[in-house]
């Protein structure tokens, strides 16, 4: 069975992956013998007696669950010792819509929709019988891909285990060894070492199968590679065939590493892969795989790197080249390339530097070819673009080593291309000094000292720094933030450090910067906290790529929404705004919200900006230790035992209760009914528990002891209430709002408007309000954190006529009616874009048209234009408010 057959089998299976039988078909697709699968189905081989589990020794531990239990079950199984009793290669949890799986050997995780299983079929390849034969790579039919990283990881894990290293605290010597090993694999496949495969063959011919002398072999070879041939003695063995490498790669002495026959075999097998076409993306990913084995491969794809470097500098260079037709100007343009500096202060394994280097070398070749066509210019065998023009800072030593090796590899690849296209050979060995990459913490380093500026240099700062929202930051990250910002940094993402330091760096001199980031830095309160510190001293946003989905296969980036923001110190330049569809628009100014128009900061407000919007407040904070709140079961038991309790019980609604239709209740006792309530033992017991809870609490809790029969806050409606959850999924196109009768008591997990006109519900449910919320709301992880002070009170709503209010209200009722037609669906499903009923979506779209006409008669083209108009109106209303205040 080959890869193509497996992929085809999975593709056929996917549309029918809906029941337990699908798991058995999955095993068959990966070559598990049919007889064995039949015995598994008949429970003769199934080591679980549960109907929702399939356990096949050494293969899988699979559990079938409902949608809501998918993540929790996966976590429980991963952390339970009993899961590993039968040594499963894979832990699998599925609801037949989505599948979560962990490779217990590689420690990699798969989290995908079932419909994408055929795209990720390689994940389960270890299920195949005789996998050692199955994964053998034929150089003639398959180039190196991510399996190379898996191969190297396997070697790494064996060395770490054999030498007793801690998995995440290995020595610099081991890091350096892998950097050298990867370079040697590349060198023997590309002609740097000759003949082909000399490195791998030398291991096979000159070391014992036991691996006992392999450390000595590497020590001897690495010493030789660091010596010019004229300084070596004649060894009369394999060492005489290796050329001098230089560049510092083999300068440090090789320290002892223990090898085994298994490790030796794995190294020789790795040498059998095709390394000549190694991509910088793949080489970069290896650093994550090797040095961070607890994570999946993480790297920035060439596609995403080009999204940054093209608008930052590459497009401008090519545009300039197109305008040049004179040899003298072309030569001057060549000289310009010599002075371009690329600096990545979070360079990882060097992908941004590598792709930038490759593109500048290709541009250089274009210039040389054009010079050759129009003049007698003599091309020489050297490049104007040198590795010394590339600078980086990286926290991890091993990543620094790999970045340097990657740059050398890229240099050789481009030298080969130079020879192919221009007929001249640039010698790659001995190596020159590689890029100026240092190991350090970029937030603490002085960037001016690491990458010095000068009047001749044209510097471009690039990269994909760590994002880390405030809730995910460790103490070390918070200390870095404090060192950079001094104050008002606690709500900022970690990447804010790089943006701030980049702005400080480029404010003087010929320099520009651009980073990939999550879109959270352009949303919510971070805008007002961060961007006033960036957009000063003539610093402006040069270009921005609006929100787009991250396309890398790394598990920690799946589904992340990113932006790219470029900064310049030339405020007179035209700015470029790029949409998610890669449509670009030239504008005069780009705001921190990544719209065109004047830079505006939306700040928290204590009351609505629009006068005709009523007050919105938090629901009631109970502060009662869960003793006044009741589940449906508790409520029914209490009423059945004490029917008189019913008059003191009210339905309870909060954000989660509304979204997921959870049945909750509470004791609601007014002052005049206290004595009556205390006559009921079940109520008195609960009140006593509240009193005890508050007695042991803080100052606020203790101040409420005398009314332990009540929530801390006691807001109620006279006619009805409108409820907005405090948190909402970022996937929704509309903000789910609810209307409830006056007997409902609200919780502080939702915002509430009491006794308002119904058209308010329509405004809150509109696309215009959702777009505003997307832009200005904070985030809880990736979910929207709705805030009355930041989302509702700042929402710019124009004056509405009675006719407009009535029209909005009528369409509001249509939305409510469409919801009620689907009693089987909870709000979470009704507003999930994948499951939202078409009629409900149509009702919302009709409402959107009515609401948008309240803003202007002309239709909006897209959401970016809607947000741009809302920001414009926000500024207008702020100015009007200011004028009223001054005239008062």
Domain termination site, one of 83, 112, 134: 134
More confident residue, 71 or 794: 794
Q: In percent, how much of the chain has pLDDT > 70?
A: 92
Contacts of 68 (CB under 8 A, 6+ apart): none
Looking at the structure, do residues 533 and 669 belong to the same domain, yes or no? no
Q: Which residues of 554-573 are buried (b: 16+ CB within 10 A; e: fewer)?
A: bbebbeeebbbbbbbbeeee
Question: Which residue, 48, 132, 131, is CA-closest to 91?
Answer: 48
Q: What angle do CA 683, 688, 689 make, to 5 degrees?
A: 100
CA distances from 797 to 351, 616, 732, 867, 879 (A): 46, 15, 22, 13, 14
Q: Which tens digit of pLDDT belongs to each residue from 588-633?
A: 999 999 988 889 899 899 999 998 899 999 999 999 999 999 999 9
Which range has the worst mean pLDDT, 143-152, 236-245, 792-801? 143-152
Q: How far apart are CA 473 and CA 272, in angstroms?
A: 42
Looking at the structure, do residues 809 and 871 belong to the same domain, yes or no? yes
Looking at the structure, do residues 743 and 651 belong to the same domain, yes or no? no
Q: How far apart are CA 501 and CA 484, in angstroms?
A: 8
Evaluate whether residue 350 is within a structural domain: yes
Looking at the structure, do residues 703 and 741 belong to the same domain, yes or no? no
Tokens encoding 183: 């370079």
Q: Which tens digit of pLDDT belongs to each residue from 643-679?
A: 999 999 999 999 999 999 999 999 999 999 999 999 9
Evaluate whether residue 371 is within a structural domain: yes
Which range has the worst mean pLDDT, 29-33, 133-137, 305-309? 133-137
- Could you tell me the pLDDT band of residue 1, with boundaries at 50, 70 and 90? low
CA distances from 392 to 176, 282, 410, 447, 459 (A): 18, 19, 16, 10, 12
Cβ proximity of 554 and 298 under 8 Å:
yes
Tokens encoding 444: 């603490």
Which range has the worst mean pLDDT, 99-108, 360-369, 498-507, 760-769? 99-108
- Could you tell me the pLDDT band of residue 691, with boundaries at 50, 70 and 90? very high
Looking at the structure, do residues 309 and 452 belong to the same domain, yes or no? yes
The answer to whether residue 297 scores a pLDDT higher than 80 is: no
- Tell me the whole-structure pTM to 2 decimals: 0.72
More confident residue, 807 or 118: 807
As a whole number, the mean pLDDT across the chain is 88
- Could you tell me the pLDDT band of residue 166, with boundaries at 50, 70 and 90? low
Domain termination site, one of 448, 464, 480: 464
Mapped onto helix, strand or coil, the DSSP state of residue 24 is helix
- Domain with 686, as residue range(s), is 622-712
Which range has the worst mean pLDDT, 95-99, 278-282, 665-669, 706-710? 278-282
More confident residue, 275 or 758: 758
Cβ proximity of 572 and 543 under 8 Å:
no
Evaluate whether residue 289 is within a structural domain: no
Looking at the structure, do residues 493 and 558 belong to the same domain, yes or no? yes
Q: How far apart are CA 875 and CA 599, in angstroms?
A: 10
- Could you tell me the pLDDT band of residue 141, with boundaries at 50, 70 and 90? very low
Average pLDDT over residues 199-205: 92
Looking at the structure, do residues 736 and 799 belong to the same domain, yes or no? yes
Q: At what angle do helices 214-225 and 198-206 cross, to 10 degrees?
A: 140
User: 843: alpha, beta or left, given left = phi > 0 and alpha = psi -120 to 50?
Assistant: alpha
Q: Please count the residues of the chain.
A: 888
Rg of the Cα trace of the chain?
A: 32
Sheet containing strand 738-741, strands side by side? 617-618, 750-754, 720-725, 738-741
Q: Which tens digit of pLDDT belongs to each residue from 210-229?
A: 999 999 999 999 999 988 88
Burial class (CB in 10 A: 0-12, 13-18, 19+), 96: middle
The answer to whether residue 334 scores a pLDDT higher than 90 is: yes
pLDDT score for 433: 67
- Could you tell me the pLDDT band of residue 233, with boundaries at 50, 70 and 90? confident
pLDDT score for 559: 53
Looking at the structure, do residues 434 and 567 belong to the same domain, yes or no? no
- Cis peptide, bond prior to residue 135, ω within 30 of zero: no
Q: How far apart are CA 586 and CA 573, in angstroms?
A: 10
Domain termination site, one of 108, 134, 160: 134
Tokens encoding 158: 């064996």
What would you measure as the largest C-alpha separation in the chain, in angstroms? 107
Looking at the structure, do residues 399 and 424 belong to the same domain, yes or no? yes
Looking at the structure, do residues 353 and 244 belong to the same domain, yes or no? no
The answer to whether residue 139 scores a pLDDT higher than 50 is: no
Evaluate whether residue 292 is within a structural domain: no
Q: How far apart are CA 369 and CA 363, in angstroms?
A: 10
* Long-range CB contacts (within 8 A, 24+) of 125-131: 125/3, 125/6, 125/30, 126/89, 126/90, 127/27, 127/30, 127/31, 127/32, 127/59, 127/60, 127/89, 127/90, 128/1, 128/6, 128/30, 128/31, 129/31, 129/32, 129/33
pLDDT score for 170: 54
Evaluate whether residue 295 is within a structural domain: no
The answer to whether residue 441 scores a pLDDT higher than 90 is: yes
Looking at the structure, do residues 707 and 729 belong to the same domain, yes or no? no
Q: How far apart are CA 581 and CA 549, in angstroms?
A: 11
Q: How far apart are CA 403 and CA 423, in angstroms?
A: 29
pLDDT score for 280: 57
Looking at the structure, do residues 319 and 185 belong to the same domain, yes or no? no
Evaluate whether residue 285 is within a structural domain: no
Contacts of 718 (CB under 8 A, 6+ apart): 742, 754, 755
Q: Which tens digit of pLDDT belongs to each residue from 793-835?
A: 999 999 999 999 999 999 999 999 999 999 999 999 999 988 9
- Cis peptide, bond prior to residue 195, ω within 30 of zero: yes
Burial class (CB in 10 A: 0-12, 13-18, 19+), 147: middle
Evaluate whether residue 287 is within a structural domain: no
Q: How many CB atoms lie within 10 A of CB 643?
A: 9
Evaluate whether residue 717 is within a structural domain: no
Q: How far is CA 521 from the centre of its chain?
A: 13
Count of domains forming the chain = 6
Q: How far apart are CA 45 and CA 23, in angstroms?
A: 14
Cβ proximity of 609 and 795 under 8 Å:
yes
Burial class (CB in 10 A: 0-12, 13-18, 19+), 865: middle
- Could you tell me the pLDDT band of residue 428, with boundaries at 50, 70 and 90? confident
């Amino acid at each position: 069975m080959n890869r193509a057959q497996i992929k085809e089998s999975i593709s056929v299976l996917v549309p029918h992956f809906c029941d337990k039988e699908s798991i058995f078909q999955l095993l068959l697709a990966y070559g598990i013998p049919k007889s064995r699968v039949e015995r598994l189905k008949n429970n003769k081989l199934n080591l679980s007696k549960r109907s929702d589990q399939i356990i096949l020794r050494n293969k899988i531990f699979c559990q079938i669950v409902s949608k809501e239990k998918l993540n929790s079950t996966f976590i429980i199984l991963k952390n339970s010792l009993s899961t590993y009793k039968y040594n499963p290669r894979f832990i699998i949890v599925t609801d037949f819509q989505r599948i979560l799986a962990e490779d217990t050997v590689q420690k990699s995780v798969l989290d995908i929709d079932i419909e994408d299983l055929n795209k990720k079929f390689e994940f389960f390849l270890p299920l195949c019988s005789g996998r050692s034969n199955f994964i053998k790579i034929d150089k003639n039919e398959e180039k190196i891909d991510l399996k190379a990283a898996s191969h190297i990881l396997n070697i790494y894990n064996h060395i770490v285990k054999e030498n007793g290293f801690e998995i995440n605290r290995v020595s610099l010597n081991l890091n350096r060894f892998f950097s050298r090993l990867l370079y040697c694999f590349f060198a023997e496949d590309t002609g740097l070492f000759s003949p082909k495969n000399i490195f791998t063959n030398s291991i096979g011919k000159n070391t014992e199968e036991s691996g006992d002398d392999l450390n000595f072999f590497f020590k001897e070879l690495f010493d030789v590679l660091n010596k010019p041939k004229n300084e070596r003695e004649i060894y009369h063995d394999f060492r005489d065939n290796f050329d001098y490498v230089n560049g510092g790669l083999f300068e440090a002495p090789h320290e002892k590493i223990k090898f085994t026959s298994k490790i030796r075999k794995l190294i020789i097998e790795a040498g059998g892969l095709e390394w000549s076409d190694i991509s910088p993306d793949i080489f970069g990913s290896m650093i994550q795989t090797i040095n961070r084995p607890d994570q999946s491969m993480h790297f920035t794809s060439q596609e995403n790197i080009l999204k940054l470097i093209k608008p930052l500098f590459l497009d401008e260079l090519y545009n300039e080249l197109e305008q040049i037709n004179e040899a003298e100007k072309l030569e001057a343009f060549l000289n310009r390339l010599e002075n371009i500096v690329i600096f990545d202060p979070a360079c990882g394994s060097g992908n941004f530097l590598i792709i930038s280097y490759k593109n500048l070398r290709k541009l250089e070749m274009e210039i040389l070819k054009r010079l050759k066509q129009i003049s007698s210019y003599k091309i020489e065998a050297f490049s104007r673009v040198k590795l010394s023009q590339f600078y980086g800072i990286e926290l991890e030593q091993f990543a620094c080593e790999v970045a340097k090796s990657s740059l050398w590899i890229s240099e050789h690849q481009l030298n080969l291309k130079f020879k192919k296209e221009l007929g001249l050979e640039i010698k790659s060995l001995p190596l020159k000094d590689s890029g100026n990459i240092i190991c350090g913490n970029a937030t603490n380093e002085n960037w001016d000292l690491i990458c010095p500026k000068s009047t001749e240099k044209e510097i471009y700062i690039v990269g994909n720094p760590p994002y880390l929202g405030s809730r995910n930051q460790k103490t070390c990250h918070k200390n870095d933030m404090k060192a950079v910002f001094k104050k008002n940094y606690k709500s900022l993402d970690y990447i804010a450090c790089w943006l701030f330091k980049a702005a400080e760096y480029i404010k003087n001199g010929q320099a520009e910067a651009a980073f990939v980031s999550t879109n959270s830095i352009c949303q919510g309160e971070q805008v007002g906290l961060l961007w006033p510190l960036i957009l000063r001293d003539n610093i402006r946003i040069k270009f921005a790529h609006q929100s787009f989905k991250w396309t890398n296969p790394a598990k920690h980036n799946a589904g992340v929404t990113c932006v790219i923001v470029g900064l310049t110190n030339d405020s007179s330049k035209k700015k470029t705004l790029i949409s998610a569809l890669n449509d670009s628009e030239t504008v005069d100014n780009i705001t921190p919200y990544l719209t065109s128009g004047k830079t505006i900061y939306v700040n928290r407000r204590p009351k609505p900006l629009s006068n005709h919007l009523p007050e919105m407040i938090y629901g009631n904070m109970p502060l009662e230790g869960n003793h006044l709140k009741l589940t449906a079961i508790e409520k029914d038991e209490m009423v059945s035992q004490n029917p008189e309790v019913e008059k003191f019980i009210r339905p309870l609604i909060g954000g989660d209760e509304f979204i997921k239709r959870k049945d909750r209740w509470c004791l609601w006792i007014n002052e005049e009914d206290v004595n009556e309530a205390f006559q009921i033992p079940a109520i008195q017991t609960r009140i006593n528990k509240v009193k005890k809870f508050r007695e042991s609490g803080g100052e606020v809790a203790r101040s409420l002891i005398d009314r332990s029969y009540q929530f801390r806050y006691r807001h109620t409606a006279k006619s009805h209430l409108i409820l907005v959850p405090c948190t909402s999924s970022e996937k929704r196109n509309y903000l789910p709002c609810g209307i409830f009768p006056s007997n409902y008591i609200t919780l502080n997990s939702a915002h509430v408007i009491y006794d308002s006109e119904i058209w308010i519900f329509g405004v809150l449910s509109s696309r215009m309000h959702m777009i505003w919320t997307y832009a200005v709301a904070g985030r809880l992880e990736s979910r929207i954190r709705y805030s009355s002070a930041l989302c509702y009170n700042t929402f710019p709503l124009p004056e509405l006529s009675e006719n407009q209010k009535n029209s909005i209200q009528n369409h509001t009722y249509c939305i409510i009616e469409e919801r009620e037609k689907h009693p089987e669906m909870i709000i979470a499903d009704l507003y999930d874009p994948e499951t939202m009923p078409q009629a409900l979506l149509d009702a919302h779209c009709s409402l959107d048209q009515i609401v948008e006409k309240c803003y202007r008669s002309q239709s909006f083209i897209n959401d970016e234009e809607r947000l741009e108009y809302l920001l414009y109106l926000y500024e207008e209303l702020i100015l009007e408010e200011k004028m009223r205040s001054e005239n008062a």
